[in-house]
């Protein structure tokens, strides 16, 4: 069975390198709650359900939950078509998923909670305060944040030692990496449990410490921001910038196309986190990026960013705004 196929049970195998306490904690993780039914949330639910966990997906919007369940089903259908899952395994995985619109129901008896809400510090703090009140003291509280301080989030709970970052990458069922971020107070056993758990899911965990942007976005986002600045200054056009990085640096996707895929609002928010965290002007978001976000040009999800996106079409077309444009 490949590592993308359904496992029959939750974590019951022995894990080399784990001490007894870590092993016990790992085997106690049976029920997982994911907060947020967006792109990242439904992807995380998909991976856990496919690995045999009972998963509760929580979102305040029932339409968002319905859309997420449909997305998970379609993505699993693709896996069936590629012989990565059988139809029986798909149905078994889907049967592991429940959807809720209230925290109280979704968090009942949860062993692990993964928050995958919007990348907004005030919202995350509000959610973690509620998680802290509604879960048992042994429940591990993880966040899928891509840049916000784990230490800061944990400080708003009564259990900072059990708060950790578990940063998945989009699309979650496909991307192997999980960035495991230790807050200043995160317990060693919690880090070991989440690291082992990520490996059990078929992912490759990378452990990092809690500094702005961690590793992935501390390196990636300034590169994207610099590409936007180069476009803003008229150094080169959209296609030329992306072509240089794809063909010259062997990147599978150019930085401007990648920014559209991530979401320009997300890029803007992460750059602000870096700017605030390091206090250095090199992390200030490009003016063009700020203007595009303010105007609602957010990339693929809004239909237009540096490129124009047409539903049902895979053709990559530069936005008319950037054809022969200088800023």
CA pair distance 36, 38, nearest whole angstrom: 6
Exactly one of 42, 96, 167, 319 is catalytic; which is it? 167
SS3 166: strand
Report helix, strand or coil for 78.
helix
To the query of whether residue 275 is one of the catalytic residues in this protein, the response is no
Count of CB atoms situated within 10 Å of the CB of 191: 18
Rounded distance, CA 225 to CA 208, Å? Answer: 23
146 tagged catalytic:
yes
Q: Which of 146, 225, 269, 319 is catalytic?
A: 146
3-state secondary structure 257-303: HHHHHHCHHHHHHHHHHHHHHHCCHHHCCCHHHHHHHHHCCCEHHHC
Helix axes 216-232, 287-295, angle to 10 degrees: 90
What end-to-end distance do the CA atoms of the chain give, in Å? 54
From the list 64, 75, 149, 217, the catalytic residue is 217
Residues 327 and 235: their CA atoms lie apart, in Å, by: 10
Is 179 noted as a catalytic residue in this protein?
A: yes
Q: Which of 115, 179, 189, 192 is catalytic?
A: 179
DSSP secondary structure code for residue 71 in this structure: H
> Which runs of consecutive H residues, i.e. helices, occur in the chain?
20-27, 39-50, 62-81, 87-95, 103-106, 121-134, 150-154, 188-200, 216-232, 238-243, 255-262, 264-278, 287-295
CA distance 214 to 211: 5
262 in Cβ contact with 225 (< 8 Å): no
- Across the beta sheet with 112-115, the strand order is 97-100, 54-58, 31-35, 112-115, 140-143, 163-168, 177-182, 204-209
The residues that are catalytic are 146, 167, 179, 217
């Amino acid at each position: 069975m490949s590592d993308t196929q359904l496992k029959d049970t939750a974590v019951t195998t022995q894990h080399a390198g784990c001490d007894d306490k870590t092993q016990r904690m790992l085997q106690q993780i049976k029920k997982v709650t994911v907060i947020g039914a967006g792109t990242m949330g439904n992807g995380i639910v998909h991976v856990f359900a496919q690995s045999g966990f009972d998963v509760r997906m929580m979102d305040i919007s029932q339409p968002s939950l319905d859309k997420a369940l449909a997305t998970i089903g379609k993505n699993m259908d693709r896996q069936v078509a590629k012989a990565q899952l059988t139809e029986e395994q798909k149905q078994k995985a889907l049967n592991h998923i429940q959807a809720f619109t209230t925290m109280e129901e979704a968090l009942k008896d949860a062993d692990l909670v993964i928050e995958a809400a919007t990348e907004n510090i005030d919202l995350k703090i509000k959610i973690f305060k509620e998680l802290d009140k509604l879960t048992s003291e042994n429940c591990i509280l993880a966040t899928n944040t891509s840049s916000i301080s784990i230490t800061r989030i944990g400080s708003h709970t009564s259990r900072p030692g059990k708060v950790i970052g578990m940063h998945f990458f989009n699309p979650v069922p496909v991307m192997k990496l999980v960035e495991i971020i230790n807050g200043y107070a995160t317990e060693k056993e919690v880090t070991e449990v989440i690291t082992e758990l990520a490996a059990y899911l078929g992912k490759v965990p990378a452990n990092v410490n809690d500094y702005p942007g961690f590793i992935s976005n501390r390196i990636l986002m300034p590169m994207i921001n610099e590409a936007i600045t180069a476009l803003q200054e008229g150094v080169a056009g959209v296609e030329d910038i992306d072509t240089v990085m794809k063909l010259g640096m062997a990147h599978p996707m150019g930085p401007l196309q990648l920014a559209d895929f991530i979401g320009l609002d997300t890029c803007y928010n992460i750059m602000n986190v870096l700017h605030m965290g390091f206090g250095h002007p090199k992390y200030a978001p490009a003016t063009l990026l700020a203007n595009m976000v303010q105007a609602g040009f957010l990339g693929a999800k809004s239909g237009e960013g540096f490129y124009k996106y047409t539903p049902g079409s895979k053709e990559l077309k530069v936005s008319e705004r950037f054809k022969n444009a200088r800023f």
